[in-house]
Structure 1
Amino acid sequence: VSAQAPAKLETLPGTAPIVWPEADLSERLMEGAHTFVERKLAEAREKRPARWSYDFTSPEAYETSIAPNRDRFRRMIGVVDDRVSPVTMESFGEMTRLLGASRPQGEPAGTSGNLLLNGPGIIGLDDSEPATPDPSLAAESGTFRAWQVRWPVLREVWSEGLLLEPLPQADRTGRVLLGNEANALLADKPRVVIVIPDAGETPEQLAGLAEGDPGRREFVRQLVANGFTVILPAILDREPYLGETADDEARLKNAAITHREWIYRQAFQMGRHVIGYEVQKVLAAVDWAKGLDPDATVGVAGWGEGGLLAFYAGACDPRIGATLVGGYFQSREKIWAEPIDRNLFGFLNEFGDAEISSLFPPRALLIDETPGGEVKTPKGESAHQPDLEFWRFGTRDSSPLSGEKSWTFPFAHRASALLSPSLIWRFFDQPEAATANPMGFLQNGLSANVDLAIFPDLRPHFSAADRQDRLFHQLEADVQQLIRDADALRDEWFLYQAEPKLRPGGWSTEKVHPTLDPANFIANAKAYRERFARDAMGTFDEPLALPNPRTRKVAETDRWTAWDVVLDVSPELFAWGTLVLPKDLKPGEKRPVVVCQHGRNGLPRDTIDGGKSAYNDFAARLAERGFITFAPHNLYRGEDRYRWLDRKANAIGGTLFSFLIPSHRQILDWLKTQPNVDPARLAFYGLSYGGESAMRIPPVLEDYAVVICSGDFNQWTRKVAATDFPNGFMRSIEWEMPYWNLGNTFDYSEMAALIFPRPFMVERGHHDRVSVDAWVAHEYAKVRWLYAQFGLADRTEIEFFQGGHSINGQGTFKFLQRWLDWPER
């Protein structure tokens, strides 16, 4: 199509002119969207107190008042699965040590047979037997032994690390005591502290079997020297993940994915989180300690990423008596700028570190304010650098901690007065302060002189990298199993609840089955539509502004005229698109409208102008057939610029579609007022990210009477989170693609069920690498089955064509003509 630009500024009747000079308004629109979401982030902080209903009248009343917040926090970080019960702490190591020989080169390591710990760190050995090197013994000194241990957590997920067994004060001569005798000497009740390393730090460094931070080593040695059993779990690092094959390596290098992000991406889609998995590992260790004795005293501590995990574990589980958080506690108002593996959906609506700390009373929470390590990734960074001058002099400034402390201190005073006379919070501003009394709630200081020497690791073939690999692949395998289970879960959650008669019956040899009345399903689907809009796509509490339409003519041929249209959506956000009007429109004539949606990095004119690969000027071609078309601009242009917009929105329970759905609502409302538009005949036809939009916007906006998804329809959960598809999003730069818990609630067949009973079509090129035909056909078969059960199979179609990622414009055009009641031209 050869379109001529207008010689002078012209506008549509009843509209003001667009005065912005740039032809491409996408950057202006993106700036407005960022300004809008930053206002919403600020509003979230102000509205946060309304999410809490503290009752300080008694400890029991207080716990009841915060229980809903604690439950929501657990779900937010993915702590939703029942853990293995009971938990047995297993020691393990290489059989070669028992055989008195080193492992031959290339021979895999074995295990010792999983010796069971029958007390907190107490190994039952008979001292009458000859001394045999135990393969699970990592180190020993005059005050403790370090054992290589593991414990079950979820399904096939285990935690691994070290357990430091304190030797009784009365028997540090080398004789190993049996369980009961040792317990009597150690304490009346077990005392266990779980100390969590930073990402990239190992349990061996904390224990002093490898070089590491001397202050943390002293902390651990102090604990064990004073009779605490110390558990040191390993956590995932942030080293780059380069895959399992050479082909993987190139793609993953470009995507810059760390081990933590690799698990985050797939888990987030399934309502789990790398944070939640590792909190579960800590809580499983608590289960073990409490299983030994319900009155066991349990504490957790950590620095950096370990500080986050200790903080979150303590917030989740009231059984944890005290928590020490180092190098982490500060304002989280910019959580969206932190490493992406810390992304939590809706976090800032209800929580900051101050609010999380309110989940602790009357238990002790100790904050070590010493600076934590810096984390820098292409998808976020953090540096815990509190302003200690603020702490010393009490002045308000812009330090990372000032806002959280100004809230926490008065709250702590009130909670302490009403709930418990004992210490609730304690802040340390120097490393030696935390080391001197790390768990003050347990005893009056720790004064033992400890040896800080690096002890030799007794495991000749131990590899921290191999352990990291085991833990990493266990989490990956667990998420992949969740993906395989999700189809059936979604059916139970949505389909069979909306219409129980859809549940499969027994074996049938009937030639024809009766169809169902769709009324019940349509009525019940409304609640799922609301959940999809609110919980999956995210909604902002913001009324639509008056549209204030502005227009200008931008192109013209002998068959149609194109107009840019700008509509206000909010004070900062506007909608922009290009309206194409056929020139043969008659006064008062009402015609159907096809909204033609571009894909990633596209612009409205891409759907209109000739020579644009993939789009094939389908908006212009439809206009030549007599349809009115409108090509909106969607925000997915500018690569990481829109991804950061999505990250900001995630922090307050939004997504990219939290901006797009209101924009389309405003567009539809305006289109319905136009003199030549039939408001009952509005269709949506999108390619690529526009096809993704087709599966997310029309399910919410029912004014779209006909829907076509091109170049995108998929088994979406697998596309986003499965690791066995080379062209999936796990290996791409598109780190915004995971949507919280979408895999358990809405895949594409469920989204199509929200479009039902409206006509719905899929356009699929055999050579479109966005998916494979088998995946597309599998998911679409569920859509057609649904329509067929209600006798409406004629309302849905799929067209496979011998092409790639492209608009074909054959069967889809006929579909539009049929269902928009428009004659073929």
Structure 2
Amino acid sequence: MKKYHFLNVGILCFLGFALQAQTVQLLPKTQSLTWQGDIASMLIDSCDAFLLNEIKQSINLRKKYWNRDFSSPETYEKSIEKNRSSFAEIIGIREKRIPFNSPDILDKVAENSIYRVNVVRWPVFGQVYSEGLLVSPIKANTSEAVIVIPDADQTPEEIMGISGNLPLEMQRARLLAEQGLTVLIPAIINRETAHKKISNREFLYRSAFELGRHLIGYEVQKILAGVDWFTTLGIENIMVSGWGEGGLLAFYAGAIDIRIDETVVAGYFASRQNVWQEPAYRNIFGLLEQFGDAEIASMIVPRKLTIPIDNDAPTIVIPSGTESKPGRLVPPETKEVENEINRLYKLTSGLAWKVSRQKTQKPKGIKTTIFQLPDANARHIRLMNELDKHNQWLLTEGTYIRKAFMSDINTESLEAFEKSIKPYKTYFAEEIIGKFDHTLLPPNARTRKLDVGNDEVTAYEVVLDVFENIFAYGILVIPNDIKSGEKRPVVVCQHGLEGRPQSTIGQQDYHYYKAFTTTLAEKGYITFAPQNIYIFGDRFRMLQFKSNAIKKTLFSIMVPQHQQITNWLGSLGMVDKDRIAFYGLSYGGKSAMRIPPLVDNYCLSICSADFNEWVWKNASTRSPYSYAFMSEYEIFEWNLGGTFNYAEMATLIAPRPFMVERGHFDGVAPDETVAYEYAKVRYLYNALLKIGDRTEIEFFDGPHSINGKGTYEFLDKHLKFKSKKTD
């Protein structure tokens, strides 16, 4: 049996596919495609295997980002400054915090012979505040203070033992207060589902992620604002301590801020290689590229790090079938924790220190007088609203932020313009889409004839190798009237969400495609309909989170697939390699904005039933069109709000022709947001570059579908081809 580049025998067994020799009709100069079964499903499984292997390899690849100097604690701190800064950036810490003299004391809620408990509020950034409890010792202690962060499903009052029914060993703030420390306890966002079936944490994460921020970063900022205050008081020893989600936040705060002398991480520390299995609000773009928990801990040491030996993590399960990303949090195996600690020791072998593994102590449970407790629900609503409003403010600021980001574009001439957008294409590829460094394999084309019941065209299924374990699949449709030696233009026709190449040729009843792959072939174009990887629901959506973990996206796979497809198409004797166009509907329109900027083989791009004010579409919590409320939990892309909306993506396509096809009754967005975003594109092409004839928008009286009128004329014009009229 021939050995194929993209699939080894082990994966074949896993996927349950067999290669069966059979006699088939195939495209000349290609091998026979003999696979049986659902090739689209096979593609998703192969992508999954590929990404899991990339995640596995990430541990060994991280060392290139680190240059630790162990000659002294001071030189060590300096040697990892860049890593600390990178970590702060990927968790969305960007806002400048507001200095304050002391928290606002709102009410006294409890008191005993050792401490008093007050409700407090303190500024963090913008109009965002933190709220919680301040526990002050009766006998002043100016040497030690601690910020204790509860799990997301606990309140400050519960971990102080003044409300709820937490067992004593979980009342961690109470234990430290009984030891005479000043204790500050911020409330954090809970996991309840107030917005349809989306947890509060995921709801805020969605908008923030699109805008280059993160709920984790916001809440770390609330902790660091407390550290700012303690520092002004001259506190000699500042500690942060947390359990569960609070453990994560304490851990990250300790890694970022060297003013924190001791970090206690309970119910969190473990291997992070399966972070993609965790809830969406744990998703950090590019985390595993540089950081596992051992690497994060290496930014805390040689300061004191405590990982209690007897603390289980919270158990959270988010099932499939809700609006949220499926996910789970489970207590890690003891061996997994120990392995990560051992990895930490290896990373910091040049330092003299040791992780503290003390057991959790119980507070004494001193009798406490409780007064009027704060309204925890009202407080939580305020905290939610403040962060949501901050996200919405960032959304309005995005236009100006992106304008500043794109300010190096030079439109004095087409030559100057094309030169000036090259760095932006690189940034888009590496920082937004994500780029694998692998070299494309030889295509090793395999084909077989496909009966489409049409005497005017001939169709073939095509499989091409891309990377090891990654292939491209699609349907090639060739007009039967091509003469010997003639070279025709190609239109790559891209399906939408849950679609298939068969959807676009008329073999499946997806009327909104109007069989545009076949129709264009009947008009005389060679067409190719690729299988993109947004199919099979949770199966493909989880690929996005596996990709995000290593600073990649779904398009990190689809871009090289299309590069290989267009390379191969251009090698065919009947194809004019300089006239290969992209035309995509819906998620295919989303592809039309992201793939052609990075695949120069595409000479033009048509975005159908998708173009709009994309950042608003993702980040708005006011608009009913927004993905903030919908089940497409994979759709959010890191920091588009500060970099590339659709007008900026179109800039990366320019000066190549670009067109938008828009149905008035398309539920993706209202006409006005489509027109608003397209006006920026029109201004670039017409006013600045003086190539207004290269861009068009067609509004038509119809729904979310191919219209196939103005776009077909656009193809004829810019591919310089006189297509045949069809009924």
Deviates more, 1:51-60 or 1:312-321: 51-60
What amino acid sits opposite 2:409 in the alignment? A
Q: Distance in 1 between matches of 2:615 and 2:201?
A: 20
1:762-773 to 2 correspondences below 5 Å:
762-773=660-671
Q: Distance in 2 between matches of 1:743 and 1:221?
A: 42
CA 1:674–1:224 in 2, change beyond 3 Å: closer, same or farther?
same
Alignment match of 2:42 (pick from 19, 22, 28): 28
What amino acid sits opposite 2:26 in the alignment? T
Q: Counterpart in 2 of 1:291?
A: 232
Q: Distance in 2 between matches of 1:190 and 1:201?
A: 28
CA 1:257–1:609 in 2, change beyond 3 Å: closer, same or farther?
same
In 2, are the aligned partners of 1:371 and 1:386 still within 8 Å (CA)?
A: no
Q: Counterpart in 2 of 1:621?
A: 519
Q: Give the Å deviation of 1:667.
A: 0.3
In 2, are the aligned partners of 1:53 and 1:65 still within 8 Å (CA)?
A: yes
1:419-434 to 2 correspondences below 5 Å:
424-428=354-358, 430-432=359-361
In 2, are the aligned partners of 1:88 and 1:152 still within 8 Å (CA)?
A: no
Q: Counterpart in 1 of 2:364?
A: 450
Q: Does 1:603 align with 2:500?
A: yes
CA 1:576–1:604 in 2, change beyond 3 Å: closer, same or farther?
same
Q: Does 1:150 align with 2:121?
A: yes
Alignment match of 1:807 (pick from 696, 706, 712): 706
Q: Give the Å deviation of 1:401.
A: 1.2
Give CA deviations for 1:120-149 in whole Å, capped at 9, x if unaligned.
Answer: xxxxxxxxxxxxxxxx00111111110000
Alignment match of 1:384 (pick from 321, 325, 331): 331
Q: Does 1:70 align with 2:90?
A: no
Alignment match of 2:636 (pick from 719, 729, 738): 738
Q: Counterpart in 2 of 1:465?
A: 377
Q: Give the Å deviation of 1:225.
A: 2.9
Alignment match of 1:645 (pick from 536, 540, 543): 543
Q: Which has the larger radius of gyration?
A: 1
Q: Counterpart in 2 of 1:571?
A: 468
Q: Does 1:720 align with 2:618?
A: yes
Give CA deviations for 1:206-237 in whole Å, capped at 9, x if unaligned.
Answer: 11111343344654334223331100110011
Q: Does 1:140 align with 2:111?
A: yes
CA 1:662–1:452 in 2, change beyond 3 Å: closer, same or farther?
farther
Q: Distance in 2 between matches of 1:717 and 1:413?
A: 45
Q: Give the Å deviation of 1:456.
A: 5.2
**Secondary structure, counterpart of 2:296 in structure 1:** helix
Alignment match of 1:748 (pick from 642, 646, 658): 646
Q: Distance in 2 between matches of 1:385 and 1:299?
A: 24
Q: Distance in 1 between matches of 2:41 and 2:101?
A: 55
Q: Counterpart in 2 of 1:667?
A: 565
**Secondary structure, counterpart of 2:393 in structure 1:** helix
- Identity across matched positions, percent: 44
1:85-484 to 2 correspondences below 5 Å:
85-86=99-100, 88-92=102-106, 136-168=107-139, 186-187=140-141, 189-216=142-169, 219-242=172-195, 252=196, 256-293=197-234, 296-369=236-309, 370-378=311-319, 379-387=326-334, 399-411=335-347, 414-416=350-352, 424-428=354-358, 430-432=359-361, 450-453=364-367, 455=368, 457-459=370-372, 462-484=374-396
In 2, are the aligned partners of 1:87 and 1:287 still within 8 Å (CA)?
A: no
**Secondary structure, counterpart of 1:680 in structure 2:** strand
TM-score relative to the length of structure 1: 0.82
Q: Counterpart in 1 of 2:24?
A: 9
Q: Distance in 1 between matches of 2:172 and 2:722?
A: 80
Give CA deviations for 1:420-476 in whole Å, capped at 9, x if unaligned.
Answer: xxx542123x433xx5xxxxxxxxxxxxx83345x454126x321111111011111
Give CA deviations for 1:385-420 in whole Å, capped at 9, x if unaligned.
Answer: 332xxxxxxxxxxx321320221234555311xxxx
Alignment match of 2:677 (pick from 773, 779, 784): 779
Alignment match of 2:458 (pick from 561, 564, 585): 561
Q: Give the Å deviation of 1:68.
A: 0.6
Q: Counterpart in 1 of 2:444?
A: 548
In 1, are the aligned partners of 2:115 and 2:180 still within 8 Å (CA)?
A: no
Q: Distance in 1 between matches of 2:651 and 2:166?
A: 55
Q: Distance in 1 between matches of 2:42 and 2:723?
A: 39
**Secondary structure, counterpart of 2:78 in structure 1:** helix
What amino acid sits opposite 2:360 in the alignment? P
**Secondary structure, counterpart of 1:55 in structure 2:** coil
Q: Counterpart in 2 of 1:823?
A: 722
Matched positions, count: 693
Q: Does 1:535 align with 2:431?
A: yes
TM-score relative to the length of structure 2: 0.93
What amino acid sits opposite 2:337 in the alignment? L
What amino acid sits opposite 2:689 in the alignment? F
Q: Distance in 2 between matches of 1:569 and 1:152?
A: 52
Q: Distance in 1 between matches of 2:135 and 2:102?
A: 16
Gaps of 5+ in 1: 1-6, 93-135, 169-185, 243-251, 388-398, 417-422, 436-448, 503-515
In 1, are the aligned partners of 2:464 and 2:471 still within 8 Å (CA)?
A: yes
**Secondary structure, counterpart of 2:444 in structure 1:** coil
Gaps of 5+ in 2: 1-21, 320-325
What amino acid sits opposite 1:17 in the alignment? S
Q: Counterpart in 2 of 1:700?
A: 598
In 1, are the aligned partners of 2:32 and 2:446 still within 8 Å (CA)?
A: yes
Q: Distance in 1 between matches of 2:394 and 2:369?
A: 41
Q: Counterpart in 2 of 1:19?
A: 34
What amino acid sits opposite 1:332 in the alignment? R
Q: Distance in 1 between matches of 2:116 and 2:360?
A: 26
In 1, are the aligned partners of 2:659 and 2:711 still within 8 Å (CA)?
A: yes
**Secondary structure, counterpart of 1:683 in structure 2:** strand
In 2, are the aligned partners of 1:208 and 1:452 still within 8 Å (CA)?
A: no
In 2, are the aligned partners of 1:330 and 1:384 still within 8 Å (CA)?
A: no
What amino acid sits opposite 2:420 in the alignment? N
Q: Distance in 1 between matches of 2:370 and 2:177?
A: 18
Q: Distance in 1 between matches of 2:277 and 2:333?
A: 17
In 2, are the aligned partners of 1:87 and 1:152 still within 8 Å (CA)?
A: no
Q: Give the Å deviation of 1:587.
A: 1.0
Q: Counterpart in 2 of 1:438?
A: none
What amino acid sits opposite 1:214 in the alignment? P
Give CA deviations for 1:695-723 in whole Å, capped at 9, x if unaligned.
Answer: 00001111110110000001000111111
Give CA deviations for 1:755-810 in whole Å, capped at 9, x if unaligned.
Answer: 00000000000000101100000000000000111111111000000000000000
Q: CA RMSD in A?
A: 1.6
CA 1:693–1:411 in 2, change beyond 3 Å: closer, same or farther?
closer
